[in-house]
A = this chain, B = another copy of it.
Amino acid sequence: MTTIALAQLNLLVGDIAGNARQVIDCAARVKGRADIVVFPELTLTGYPPEDLLLRPACDTRVAAALREIAAASHGISLVVGYPAMRDGVRYNVAGLVRDGVVELEYRKMQLPNYSVFDERRYFEPGAHAVVFEQGGVSFGLTVCEDIWFDLPVQRAAAAGAQVLLNLNASPYHEGKALERERLVADRARRFGVSVVYVNQVGGQDELVFDGSSFVVDDQGRIRHRAPMFETAETLVPFDGALPANAAITPLLVGEEQVYRALVCGTRDYVRKNGFRSVVLGLSGGIDSALTLAIAVDALGADRVEVVSMPSRYTAEISNSDAQAQARTMGVAYHSIPIEPAFNAFLDMLAPTFAGAPPDTTEENIQARCRGIILMAISNKRGHMLLTTGNKSEMSVGYATLYGDMAGGFAPLKDVPKTLVYRLARWRNRNGEVIPARVIERPPSAELRADQKDSDSLPDYDLLDAVLAQYVEQDRSVDDIVGAGFPRNDVERVARLVDRNEYKRRQAPPGVKITRRAYGRDRRYPIVNGF
């Protein structure tokens, strides 16, 4: 009987000493009850450490951390992830630390270099299976991407592994947890091994890791599943190579899954950057309303401040809905009308602009006056400013740089507008926190009289459908038209997406929840004649 602990930790990228402390604390907690503890991929640096890996000081700190972990490994086997320079070559390693020494190191074979991943920038692939014995069972080591391919699993099985310990840093997108389980279950069945899949949890810049660690037996049956978006430490007893049943937390689904991802990513970005609180502009529209709900769920109402900043174009119901929501959610609320600053700029620019008709310039000035107010409050009080824009806007550039795009973090950056609506309705399921009218009104930027989003953009149903095909699936304009969308709209949307890369490049990060987010996941040139 061997008991394996799955340490689903929330690590801090770069904080090697702190992450080592988490390993040692966890080992101390489970010692006597567990025989082996499995930690996430690159436990010591967190994931993704990016170019921190290139600093020689990184290697020194990892080596020091490993010595401390080794000293804590008497009576318990710790399977820990870290980068390791060996003969001048850097590997992504899973090390077995027991009885005071780093006994074995497995080198990750499959290095992902697509989507958000850049592992070939840092690592060389390994080639050999590493298997160790404990309690009469053979355990094989693999790291994350390895298990998406046959070869590393095959080699481990051929080397005698009965149970695979797989260390992961697998970022979230909608539905990913289920994909992983299906794939790993298939590998387990085909190669006749049980698999212990340990994933990290928590936000890191634009990524959120959902945890969802699990254990499958050699028939591919789920024997344990840790919660999503929470740290966890579970002990799974094995009878020989067969896992006993342990807690199986249901997977979150649908809107709840996405919403929890947004809350987790937002909370960690704020907290891990050393902020305690946030401010955001509450317009009476649905994006800022949902952002407020996420902020309150992430940080608590006492750490959220909202500002309503009406102008001559703001409908009265926008102000009252904003105030009503602030009251419902119990957050600090001010109203600061932007007219004095807006007028000052119009006057200051009047000689320069003499004779020029009003255009988006004047709309942008309003958005930027709001940006200044919000950043001033952010600066003065030490709040992080949350940006409220959604993916549909970010895609087509329907947002003002340095205006409503200003901020440290954009929770909805990867959330299409149609999903914003679904999330808002879902959040209201147990009582209205977002006023119904905010959800039902036609959306408007309120930057000129009687403006509606639909004056400038196709219907959001159509827009989001086209964007999913153009941005997430790389389909061509002709293909999308062939799928039944009007050519005019498709061409316009594609052109807007291409032209607005410069805006996205200056946008704050947000939580990736789709298969392809803007940012490191979609790397487009700004100068682009495609």
Residues of chain A at the chain B interface (Cβ within 8 Å) = 12-16, 18, 46, 48-52, 54-58, 60, 113-114, 118, 120-121, 203-205, 268-269, 272-273, 334, 336-338, 340-341, 343-345, 347-349, 352-353, 356, 359-361, 364-365, 368-369, 371-373, 375-377, 379-380, 401-402, 406, 408, 474-476, 502, 505-509, 522-530
Contacts and interface: CB of A to CB of B under 8 A. Distances in A.
14 contacts: A13-B527, A14-B528, A14-B530, A15-B530, A56-B476, A113-B121, A120-B121, A272-B529, A336-B348, A337-B348, A341-B344, A353-B376, A375-B401, A375-B402
Given A273-B502, A344-B341, A529-B14, A365 B361 contact: no
A282 to B, nearest CB: 15
Contact of A54 (B18, B52, B474): B474
Given A375-B402, A376-B361, A12 B527 contact: yes
Contacts of A51: 522-524
A353 B380 contact: yes
Contact of A506 (B60, B205, B352, B507): B507
Given A15-B530, A55-B530, A341-B341, 15 more contacts: A15-B529, A50-B524, A52-B530, A204-B525, A205-B525, A272-B529, A273-B526, A337-B348, A340-B344, A341-B345, A344-B344, A361-B379, A368-B372, A368-B375, A371-B402
Ordered nearest first, which 5 A-B pairs have the shortest CB separation? A15-B529, A14-B530, A402-B402, A361-B379, A57-B476
Contacts of A204: 525, 527
B360 A372 contact: no
Contact of A55 (B334, B344, B352, B474): B474
B359 A56 contact: no
Nearest to A528: B14
Nearest to A349: B376
B352 A377 contact: yes
A18 B527 CA distance: 14
A475 B55 CA distance: 7
A359 B348 CA distance: 26
A528 B345 contact: no
Contacts of A336: 348-349, 352
